[in-house]
């Protein structure tokens, strides 16, 4: 069986979420066992191996699976409200996928961002989702998104980009913010605060290394 693989873990997280969200409470775990049996059948063709070829296969399978969920995720981004400190269905959907396979999920988000350049709700939603989940290990994936959104004339896109800058906190992000002209006064104030904080932080980190 494929226990421990990314796709298995993804489906298992869905099962657990369904059980928790619907407050299933039984005197026995018969129904839960049935769900896990179905889960095992669904993932039976995934090799139980940590060899690189099989890891690559697992990643491809998971990416193919995520691609079938693109329309669903985009719909969530259109329908969900993004409020500071509050999760939503779009964020939780990405969280589950991150738990199953973080790197593939990040690449998938990058794909969607590239395909929806004319849909600001999708672009901002992706940035806000990644920021909320504090994903910090994929600078190469998300920094180009930040730069592109900072160049957007929309205050909403610039704000979402700045929120992700606060999460990634890299030198490249700091440079991008410094090189951006902001027409909105409140967005400029927000950016200036980030520049001050990141400059101090990065300089302090550099001093510690010396």
For the ranges 8-12, 70-74, 121-125, which has the lowest average pLDDT? 8-12
DSSP class of residue 81 equals -
The rounded mean pLDDT for the chain is 82
Mean pLDDT of the region 181-193: 96
Cα torsion angle, 171, 175, 178, 181, sign = negative
Cα 55 to Cα 34, 48, 99, 136, distances in angstroms: 28, 9, 16, 23
Confidence of residue 38 (pLDDT cuts 50, 70, 90): very low
Cα–Cα distance measured from residue 192 to residue 178, given in angstroms and rounded to the nearest whole number = 8
Q: What proportion of the chain, given as a percentage, has pLDDT over 90? A: 63
Check residue 11 and give its pLDDT. 58
Q: Which two tokens stand for residue 123?
A: 């672009």
User: What does the block give as tokens for 80?
Assistant: 């969900």
pLDDT for 8 beyond 80: no
pLDDT grade for 35, boundaries at 50, 70 and 90 = very low
pLDDT at position 135, please? 87
The whole-number pLDDT of residue 10 equals 55
194 pLDDT band (50/70/90 cuts)? very high
């Amino acid at each position: 069986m494929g226990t421990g693989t990314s796709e298995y873990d993804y489906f298992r997280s869905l099962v657990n979420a369904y059980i928790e969200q619907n407050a299933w409470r039984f005197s026995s775990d018969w129904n839960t066992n049935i769900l896990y049996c179905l889960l095992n059948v669904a993932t039976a063709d995934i090799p139980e191996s940590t060899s690189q070829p099989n890891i690559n296969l697992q990643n491809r399978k998971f990416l193919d699976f995520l691609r079938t969920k693109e329309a669903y995720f985009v719909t969530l981004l259109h329908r969900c409200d993004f409020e500071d400190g509050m999760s939503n269905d779009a964020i939780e959907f990405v969280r589950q996928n991150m738990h199953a396979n973080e790197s593939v999920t990040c690449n998938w988000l990058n794909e969607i961002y590239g395909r929806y350049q004319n849909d600001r709700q999708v672009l901002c939603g992706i940035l806000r989702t990644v920021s909320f989940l504090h994903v910090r290990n994929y600078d190469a994936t998300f920094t180009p998104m930040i730069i592109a959104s900072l160049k957007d004339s929309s205050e909403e896109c610039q704000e979402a980009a700045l929120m992700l800058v606060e999460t990634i906190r890299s030198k490249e992000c700091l440079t991008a913010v410094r090189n951006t002209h902001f027409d909105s006064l409140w967005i400029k104030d927000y950016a200036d605060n980030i520049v001050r904080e990141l400059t101090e932080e990065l300089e302090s980190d550099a001093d510690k290394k010396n």
